[in-house]
């Protein structure tokens, strides 16, 4: 495919009128993912990666100095999760999780795959809901963070992993077994423990004051494995909690179509900037290749 022909990124505001909402790839939808997904046709998506709220902000420790100044930091340092989008009452969190996962199941094509990022806070609930929905669990991948946040309390082990639940709908799922071997330390089968750093350095999007623009920006390397393993070039990848657009960006780089949904317009703007840069770089690469 000639990269010049690739669609430019579009943003569709789905916060008010959802009647006749177009279903298009290469689009970031601004709005609530449950409402937006309800407008999409069933069995239309090959792969879903979801990084939902974990409902852990309310457990965050308050970290303030003697003067009471808020010392939550991010960027080079570490961040205490305290985001309003991440705070639910227990029963609301369960209801919310059931609702979005039901929509994801409806949208997945037969043979489609679903990956969900989570921590010990929500893994139990998600596994029960997914099994109630009769999706099939293939792996609980452990993402071992090579640079975890330090443990401040010194009263428990340092939390240094997240999980990525890998589920499929139906029997004929895509899995690029051979291709995954390149990520294995000894060139053999890729195991379900992935050692990757948290997103930091140049990859981490920063605000003008140097702090991280988003508290939970996922590393591109994590998405690269997921998208390469479970989709083919040209497949459609959906991220219902798109944040800074990491899934869209990696999908674009890997020649997949994508859709992102995010309900915070600042994160949508960040994603557009990020995606435009990537599209510009890919266009240049393509021109260079064709001139050779
Ligand atoms: C854990 S973050 C995802 C981060 C993303 N993986 C990245 O790499 O930047 C979850 C995101 O979902 C958004 N969000 C929360 N509830 C939502 C909803 N109901 N619909 C759409 N987006 C939502 C939040 O604003 C947040 O950016």
Residue nearest to atom 27 of ligand 1 (CA): 243
More confident residue, 4 or 252: 252
Tokens of 262: 């995010």
pLDDT of residue 263: 96
**Confidence band for 67, pLDDT divided at 50, 70 and 90:** very low
Instruction: Report whether pLDDT(43) > 90.
Output: yes
Contact 216 CB / ligand 1 (< 6 Å): yes
Q: What is the pTM of this model?
A: 0.91
Per-residue pLDDT reduced to its tens digit, 159-184: 999 999 999 999 999 999 999 999 99
Distance of CA 97 to the CA centre of its chain: 15
Report the pLDDT value the prediction gives residue 292, as an integer from 0 to 100: 77
Cβ atoms within 10 A of the Cβ of 7, count?
Answer: 11
Could you tell which of 18, 262, 266, 271 is best to mutate to test the pocket of ligand 1, judged by most ligand atoms within 8 Å of the CB?
Answer: 262
Interval 6-27 mean pLDDT? 92
- What per-residue confidence (pLDDT) applies to 63? 41
Ligand 1 in contact with 267 (CB < 6 A)? yes
Residue, of 117 and 66, whose pLDDT is higher:
117
**Structure confidence by residue, pLDDT tens digits, 250-269:** 999 999 999 999 999 999 99
10-291 is classed CATH 3.40.50.720: no
Domain ranges of the chain: 10-291
Q: How far apart are CA 115 and CA 150, in angstroms?
A: 27
Instruction: Find the helix or strand (DSSP H, E) in which 33 lies.
Output: helix 33-38
Per-residue pLDDT at 2:
58
pLDDT at 71: 43
* CA distance linking residue 135 with residue 102, whole number of Å: 10
C-beta 244 within 6 A of ligand 1? yes
Q: What is the number of the ligand 1 atom nearest to the C-alpha of 246?
A: 8
Residue 23, pLDDT > 90, answer yes
Pair 138, 192: CB distance under 8 Å: no
Range of 58-67, 92-101, 205-214 with top mean pLDDT: 92-101
Average pLDDT estimate for 74-87: 58
Task: Identify the pLDDT of residue 46.
Answer: 98
What are 116's strand-pairing partners? 50, 165
Q: What is the mean pLDDT of the chain?
A: 90
What residues have CB less than 8 Å from 30, skipping those under 6 apart? 11, 12, 13, 14, 15, 262, 263, 265, 268
Using a 6 Å cutoff on CB, does residue 33 contact ligand 1?
yes
pLDDT at 66 over 50: no
Q: What is the pLDDT of residue 80?
A: 54
Is the CB–ligand 1 distance for residue 268 below 6 Å?
no
Average pLDDT, integer, range 113-122: 96
Report pLDDT for 87: 73
């Amino acid at each position: 495919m000639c990269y010049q022909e690739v669609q430019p990124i579009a943003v569709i505001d789905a916060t008010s009128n959802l009647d006749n909402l177009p279903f298009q790839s290469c689009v970031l939808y601004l709005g609530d993912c449950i409402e937006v997904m309800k407008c999409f046709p069933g069995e239309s998506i090959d792969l879903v990666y979801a990084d939902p709220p974990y409902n852990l902000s309310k457990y965050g420790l308050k970290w303030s100095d003697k003067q009471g100044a808020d010392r939550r930091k991010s960027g080079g340092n570490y961040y205490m999760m305290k985001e309003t989008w991440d705070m639910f009452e227990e029963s609301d969190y369960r209801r919310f999780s059931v609702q979005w996962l039901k929509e994801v199941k409806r949208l997945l094509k037969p043979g489609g795959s679903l990956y969900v990022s989570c921590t010990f806070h929500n893994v139990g609930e998600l596994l029960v809901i997914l099994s109630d929905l009769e999706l099939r669990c293939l792996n609980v991948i452990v993402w071992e963070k090579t640079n975890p946040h330090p443990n401040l309390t010194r009263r428990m082990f340092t939390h240094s992993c997240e999980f990525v639940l890998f589920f499929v709908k139906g029997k004929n799922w895509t899995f690029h077994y051979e291709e995954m071997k390149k990520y294995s330390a000894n060139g053999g089968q890729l195991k379900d423990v992935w050692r990757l750093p948290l997103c930091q350095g140049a990859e981490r999007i920063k605000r003008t004051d140097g702090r991280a623009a988003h508290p939970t920006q996922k590393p591109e390397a994590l998405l690269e494995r997921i998208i390469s393993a479970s989709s083919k070039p040209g497949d459609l990848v959906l991220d219902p909690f798109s944040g800074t657009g990491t899934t869209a960006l990696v999908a674009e780089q890997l020649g997949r179509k994508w859709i992102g949904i995010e309900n915070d317009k600042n994160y949508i703007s960040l994603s557009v900037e990020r995606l435009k840069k990537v599209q510009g770089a890919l266009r240049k690469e393509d021109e260079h290749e064709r001139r050779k």
